[in-house]
A and B are shown apart, each in its own frame.
Chain A
């Protein structure tokens, strides 16, 4: 099939009559089937995708198509789509079919995007390598010995592997940006509250955001224009108006002030080639007349521990609903009500999910709440204040997305904490609620891509897109 590098290319072919939505869907399905060994899609929604494609083809003919007419999008398997199976890549949701669609899905479909299927991910979005799925590993399409990253590993692999033009993921601690970095695509984590979380299977509600994974900054901005905004089904979704994110793209920004965190670049875990590339970007920005300065952030080592105290606590609460009664899997070995809960949950959840539920239950339990959970919330404020302070003096923070490139299967799965430290550069944006993007600007001598990350001011999503576009063009 023809490989598309942006939605603009697809749109031009659709409008010029070079292809149709039905042809596109057929081609993508063929592509997905020819790459089955990558284990990217848990299900292709062939029937509904074809129906949508036919409907959108008619609209394109009469020039009444929506803003995303013909954009073929894959969903992470933790986003609800009415009448379709969703599993969070967990055995515990066996046989579950959504009764309603996530707000983001409704908004995409209303603008004539076509939903092609659901992508494998780490179980309940807990992981950084996609090795925690109940349905097996996703292989990185660029090197099948390596992980695609996680938890939105399938979504990133689907875009990188030309199985769709865009995908949605969720990002709780880096789950969009880290796999985007490992697969060489763009991954965007919106400001907390910019996008409604209604219909996303919750992991840690004060961290989770849904966002796009695409090949270009423009496509990410366009999807964000459609999915952002107030939602009566999610009271944390912001009522601030949604600016036209794509409008500022292509402009050369006025002189900017950009910070980079010294300790991030000096971090001993950071691959030297990634450090070199970041320094190169810094050099180019300076040469273009922007101010780029090192800043102190003395809390780097506290980010991931804070993330784990708070997200495991929220997860233990969010995942309490999976009890073997109302939906999903029920153990055959249960004899009474209590054992129905215990056996269904113990057999239905995977190891990593149980580990996080246990830690989360512990930090919330009587006698330990103040020492761990409350302490975590206090440190979260310190981290947020310090990060906000940096962004009072600077427009953006520039940093790596990941310490290295995609690693091999099994390399980090034996030690949960080594895996957790994969998120060292990405969790800051979730802890603080700030918008952040991973841009595919790095190519390692080992042949693998890596991302450059930008964190913006709260609700300055528009500025992040404009700067990202500028970085991709000039650095």
Chain B
């Protein structure tokens, strides 16, 4: 094979007509729904509900045939890029291939059709799975115990910070600050604020890393802890992490691991070995749960044994006779989800772990790091590498000083031009500490042929120059989208669009 499997230039998604909304496809009285025969008496609404609570007419929804609905959604799906279509090197998001066997597992009736309040004695398979997954995540991170409730990474962050808070309070302390590096994801400071802490940003050093010398300036008795991603968002390993951890611990704080980048280190090292106390994981990144167009994800939180009594409950425990039961941690901060978290995402992650096993997870990380390094080696000389160290699973380059572009090549334009060349774009303008940043995470599931084609496309864009890139994209379902107009003339519903009248969707 010499052709790149992850390049999507042949995709038939590139139609240019507008797709009407489902409301425009509606005709009064048309409908798809049908209901089962039940034999239940057919009382009228007036016989069942007090008259003053009844609405005069039902809320207007779409009114379409099943056939038209299928056509509408299928056409919309053709206007959508996805991992199944081609490479999706969106830095920090770990858009790896999502195995189909995991989808099938999640669709099994014994998982998908079980009420969350089913007594534990009738849901032993579910409890066994949750117990096994929590244990495996603890093994990968070196932690003592885990909650699977948080439904996404940011929810995991808030959960972890609230555990940090409860631990301090249990010791009669109430420090007010949490430190985060200036390269951190935006969710970190937002979660810190929601947890009632003040964010203190710690500047990266000239190598893009947290420096113990810089850190010392910020450490005092008011520090509750520090949040770190390792490797960090520049894709660089914080090699002085042990010293960083010791300094934070000596100041009375806890060390929090943002697991966004765990895909680089499975079986290589563990957050616990680095000195972390609290870890959240993004199962939709590292453990191949599909991203669903923006979610659902899953953001389990694992903690040291010392902190486990603060975890959200209930947790699954195993009795001596091998049966599983729910138990409430002694000083639980309380539940963080209405039920047990995004449970079907947890099924997928468990199937993924079973598929890979101990060796496989390490090979995943090795291949992810190999791909990122090999990609970067092909981009060097054209795209500036702001920090010298070799990257781990992702790499950050700048478009600013690409040779022959007079400093005019913008990251946004490179991203748009790359769409025309059959790839999803990398993350752009992040981390904030790099000008005109492209943050590229190829993941381990792309072949060398695909990585080479991606690199070639990026090099070609630089050769074509800033002016060509600025015109892109033109072959995609729509061209460059007017974001400023969307914010200025806020149209969030079809009803608002109709009220705006013609002009919103009229062609120029």
Our verdict on whether A and B bind, yes or no, reads no
Binding site for A on B (CB under 8 A): none
Q: Which residues of A contact B (CB under 8 A)?
A: none
